[in-house]
Structure 1
Amino acid sequence: MLSIPAEISCEFIKWRLALQRDPRNQLPTTYTLKYTYGMTKPSTMDFLNGGTSLEKTGKWVIRKEAGNREVFVLNPDTPEAAISFVRLDDKLLHLLDREGRLMIGHAGWSYTLNRK
């Protein structure tokens, strides 16, 4: 999803997602996704050697699905580059896999983004 080469060692990823809306009607417009990935710096929450930082930008949309589920889709016009999140509440988004299922994490790896 993030174009991280398979041969790169990666223990974790930090995401920073900004979703812009049209101020007149609050419809989705553009997004900026900044992310850093790499190996953990021992005994810290930081990256070894600062990690590798990249940025993606583009359009996003909100799709209403069964059961009032709201899905935020980045790059809706290019399915191979699309990244989808389900809106859990006003402060939480959870990453979905290509089939629209929740990505499953564990104690050290979460797929939930928290609003700041």
Structure 2
Amino acid sequence: MPLFAENLRKLPGISHVAAIKLLDEAGEVIATIENKSGSQGSLAVYNHLAQTYGAITPEAARKGLEMFAEHAEDARANPGKHVNIDRLKMLVEERKTLRTKHVFAL
């Protein structure tokens, strides 16, 4: 299985994305992933999933968990340590979808 760093190198760039807002079924923003140190990998994965699947669906979330590779294993062992991975796991388990709204950098 490829490591997270290898998977990241295959994803589209995110320099044009300031953040991605995640919206629930009511359209409420439940989380924001910003383009800043510590969350750029998550932003790249969620950006790719949103572009590929149109939303963060259970299928997209499964793919995202694969992309997070060794970090997904760490998240399973340490709930709460990786909230963006925990969220993907929840979407798979609860069969829910989150819509995304990109905030573009100026």
- Normalised by the length of structure 1, the TM-score is 0.26
Larger radius of gyration: 1
Higher relative contact order (CA 8 A, sep 6+): 2
- Normalised by the length of structure 2, the TM-score is 0.27
More strand by share: 1
